[in-house]
Amino acid sequence: MHFIKTFFAKYSGWLKGVLLPLGPWGVFVIGAVDSAAFLMPLDPIMAAYVYAQPHLAWLYILMGSAGSALGNMVLYGIGYKGGEVLLEKRMPKAKFLKIKKSFEDHEFLALMVPAMLRPPTPYKLIVLSAAAFEMDWHKFLLAIFLGRVARFTILAILVMAFGPQVVNIITNLVTQHLSATLGVIGVALLLGAIIWKLRQRRMNGEGTTTEA
């Protein structure tokens, strides 16, 4: 375990040295590669960029999110071609049915919310599921992009407030309290949906009154 941590730390340092000079394109590349195939230290790289040039945080957030969304098109192609049969071979029946129902009920959020989260969330499996259930690729890209924008924006704010070491704190928190993290996000999304519906009703009510 110590060897793995040491190797990962050295690997992250090497990547930072290679990618930081590339500016926004560096975070775009690592976002795309991480999503397409390999587990890359995406958050530490993003944190290093933001900490080095906080005035460009918005650009790094957008470029990282765009790279991540486009990189996931590789998994989209695999999932779309393999279909539901591919998923049934990779997960228990109960889990398959649960994910399928979540996409049937709230397709966009079923992909966007996991895109906001860090490992150990089974993110790539959910991406494959979205493709296997034939989610429209425009919505697919938008859901991932918005989810990543939310994730990187929160990360950038924390890095500017507390420094890049906040990445390790977040990692430990999510790993040890995954259920609580998901619960907080779920409640926030529910409250957002309720507020949005109430505003829509108010606007509709005001429109009816005006017409009368």
pLDDT level of residue 16 (50, 70, 90 thresholds): low
The pLDDT of residue 4: 47
> Measured between alpha carbons, how far is residue 162 from residues 28, 165, 167, 212 in Å?
24, 7, 10, 55
Q: What percent of the chain has pLDDT over 90?
A: 17
Instruction: Please say if the pLDDT value at position 103 is more than 90.
Output: no
The pLDDT of residue 189: 56
CA–CA separation, 138 and 107 (whole Å)? 13
Q: Which of 7-16, 56-65, 68-77, 105-114 has the lowest mean pLDDT?
A: 7-16
Q: Which of 32, 39, 38, 56 lies closest to 148 in space, CA to CA?
A: 32
Is 169 exposed, middle or buried (CB count within 10 Å of its CB: 0-12, 13-18, 19+)?
A: exposed
The pLDDT of residue 142: 95
CA–CA separation, 96 and 17 (whole Å)? 41
- Higher pLDDT: 193 or 71? It is 71
CA–CA separation, 167 and 152 (whole Å)? 11
Instruction: Please say if the pLDDT value at position 179 is more than 80.
Output: no
Mean predicted lDDT score pLDDT of the chain: 76
Average pLDDT over every residue of 40-54: 81
Non-local (6+) Cβ contacts of 184 within 8 A are: none
The domain spans of the chain are 2-176, 177-212
The pLDDT of residue 67: 92
pLDDT level of residue 92 (50, 70, 90 thresholds): confident
For the question of whether the overall pTM of this predicted structure is more than 0.75, the answer is no
